[in-house]
Amino acid sequence: MKTVKELMSTNIKVCAPHDSVTAAAKIMRDIECGSVPVCENKKVVGIITDRDIVINVVADGKDTNTVHCHDCMTSDVVTCTTDTDVHECAQMMAQHQVRRLPVVENGDIVGIIAIGDLAKENIFANEAGDALSDISEHSRLDH
């Protein structure tokens, strides 16, 4: 049984709730990612995505330098722990239609696991592929 701890990234970048969405977008650009956990100290309080910024800030003509992450982040964040089985992790991603999960221990963020991390493991390719297919299908329905 492989766990999330064996595949997760521990070199993570996070935003604070009062950081501007510009700061969040710069992190996304720098790490080539579409979402960033929003944390107070090390506690995950939300997640902000590039889509959140575009739909809730840019499309409304708001100033990305004055809108804070807490203004447009998702606060109902799905997380997993380091000992979560990778099969369960893939199922969680599919169920909640997300590509990345913050990894927490004792409530503190310790890493992040992405669907790409699961897909790199050949034995989990089908589950990761199914999860991505479910996520992508949901995304198409949003448009």
Contact 129, 116 (CB under 8 A): no
d(CA 77, CA 101): 8
Read off the pLDDT of each residue in 100-112 and give the average, rounded to a whole number. 96
Q: What is the pLDDT of residue 119?
A: 79
Domains of the chain (ranges, CATH numbers): 4-141 (3.10.580.10)
Give me the chain's average pLDDT, please: 87
Q: What is the DSSP string of 58-104?
A: ITTT--TTTSBHHHHSB-S---EETTSBHHHHHHHHHHHT-SEEEEE
Question: Running DSSP on this structure, what letter comes out for residue 122?
Answer: G
pLDDT digit string (tens) for 52-63? Answer: 999 999 999 999
**pLDDT of 11 strictly over 70:** yes
Q: What is the pLDDT of residue 123?
A: 40
